[in-house]
Structures are given as structure tokens and as C-alpha cells.
Amino acid sequence: MPAAFADAPLLLDVRHLSVDYVSRGQPAAHAVDDVSFVLREGEILGLVGESGCGKTTLMLSLMRLLPSAGRIVAGRVDLLGRDLLSLSEKEIADVRWKEMAMIFQGAMNALNPVRTIGDQISEVIVRHNIAGNKAVLDGRISELLELVGIPANRKDQYPHQYSGGMRQRAMIAMALACAPLIVIADEPTTALDVMIQAQILELLLTLRQKLGLAVILVTHDLGVVAEICDSVLVMYGGVTAEYASVNTIYNNPQHPYTQQLLDAFPDLSNPSDRLTSIPGYPPRLDALPPGCRFAPRCSVAFERCHHEQPPLYQLSQFHLASCHRVESE
């Protein structure tokens, strides 16, 4: 735990969460396997990994929004001490957006094209009974839009009349509508150019300061992680590869996957370095290798890695890595 957050109140405590995708006549795909992490007030957690490593599945399962084939097979998700997985459908619906909101990737499709922005924001405020009357509601919508830098008079416009960056900011305004404790941002900047990307990240940081928001940022952009995150969870093939503070991840990565991921990222201080890539592909989740999931692509794998899955080793107070090499050191 980064020092600044060790004392902050614990919001979310995810323990040993496993999610399978089941379909008839096929082996279950283990999309998320035994993942644990915590989130404290005001903390920004980066969730990093290649496409298909289970990031989005993990986030959807926190709000119990998995598609019908998805099954949470083990684990707990405690939000302020309340186990979300044991709530009824109706109770979890009350939690959604009010306590945990989500910013989806690609706000073009995440907003309904035939309804105005203001209408879509007001809908969720009305759903959770935040505003008493029409005037308060209108005031709240204007306030939210201005908070993210959108003139309030554009609330009666439709998503297609907004630019890409504005849509994403409108999505953030909508996420903040019920003053949630946690915002899950699933690749919020993927489809945007770098200038807009910087604006959106700046906005998230400001909001964290103003509102004490905790954010889970799902991304595969390590630059973004270095810039704004406090702690980082690196996932590979559905399991935790490494979980530590952002400083530890960048300065003392222990898992070979983390190391190679960092090597694959351009380093501005050494522009002459050639970029390296990790050979091979991530494993298929319905046909996982018997040992360490990264072993087939790992340059330093040894015998044991290929038939024994490494547990998560605790390296220091807040540094976990799942690699056999860590143990031998």
C-alpha cells in the first residue's frame, strides 16, 4: 500500500475472485482466476494487461454486469464491508451507479444515440432519487456538465452533436451524477487523441482531489498508469501477475511479464533504444497451460514453471508477484 493511502478508509475489498465463461458443450473458460485487490478512498488503481487477459471481465463482475455466460464461481466483493455477491438483484441494482459507477470505453456507443445527454444524465439521478424536484434536477445536470467542462446549454443536444472528447466527458459527468464512491474507468481514453486523452486524465485527477473519488483505471497504456495511478495490478491470462505501488512496478518489477511489458513501452529518455515486443500470444482462457500461464512466452522460464502454477508471493508489505523465480531469490 502506498504510504499516502495506508490510513485512508477501505472502500472495496476484492478477495479470491474467480469468473468463468460457460457455454454448452465446451470447457469453461477461466477468465478471472483468484484475483484479490483493495481500493481505498481517493486511490487510483491501474489495471493493466493485454487484450483478453480478463480486465474488463473483472470490472464487470464487480458490478455484477457479466453477460449471461459469465459466472462468478468463487470469491467475495466487499464494498464498505457489504458483500455485493450475496445481494439480491434488486439490492445490487440500487448499488449500481449510486456507489460504483462505470465509464465505458468508446462513449459513442455507451450513450444512447436517440436521447439527449441531459436526459440520459437525469434518468440516473431520478432512478436513485437524488434530486427532489425538477429545478434541483436541472441545476444538478448543469452543474455536472460544467464540472467536466461542457457548457450547460448543450445538455439538450444528442451524442452525435458532441465531439469524441466531449462525449467521453459527458460520460464522466454521468458517472458522477449520483456522487459515487468509486468510478470504474474501462479504457476511457482509448479512442481519443493524445491532447484529449491528457484532458480526460487531468479531469480524473481534479475530480479525485475535489470529490475524494476512488478510481479503477483499466488500460493497456503504461504511460497513463505512470502519470496518474497510485497502485498497479498487472494481470496476465486471468491471474494476478504483479500487484504493487506504481513506484515499485516501474522501479523494481519482479514478474518477467511486467518487466517485458515495460520494455515494450517507449522510453523518452532513451529514444535510441529499440522497442522490444513479447513473442507469442496470450493463452486461450479455455485451454490454459498447466504451469505458469506466462511460461510459454517467458524468456527466463525453467522446468518448474511449465508444470506448477506459481502462487502469489509477498515480497514486501505491498508488493505481490506470482513467479517461481521470486521465491528462489
Interface residues with another protein (CB under 8 A)? 63, 65, 93-98, 101-102, 104, 106, 109-115, 123-124, 127-128, 158, 160-161
Strand (E) or helix (H) holding 237: none
Q: Which helix (H) or strand (E) holds 235?
A: strand 231-236
Shortest Cβ 102–another protein spacing (Å) = 5
Pairwise CA distance, residues 43 & 59, whole Å? 16
- DSSP code at position 159: G
| Number of CB atoms found within 10 A of residue 327's CB | 12
Cα 175 vs. chain centroid, distance in angstroms? 14
Q: How far are the Cα atoms of 110, 160, 174 from residue 166, in angstroms, in the given order?
A: 13, 10, 12
Nearer to another protein, 8 or 87 (CB): 87
Which three-class secondary structure state does DSSP give residue 51? coil
Q: 29 has which bridge partners? A: 21
Residue 156 corresponds to which amino acid?
D
Question: What gap in Å lies between CA 42 and CA 178, rounded to an integer?
Answer: 17
CA-nearest of 137, 219, 213 to 179 is 213
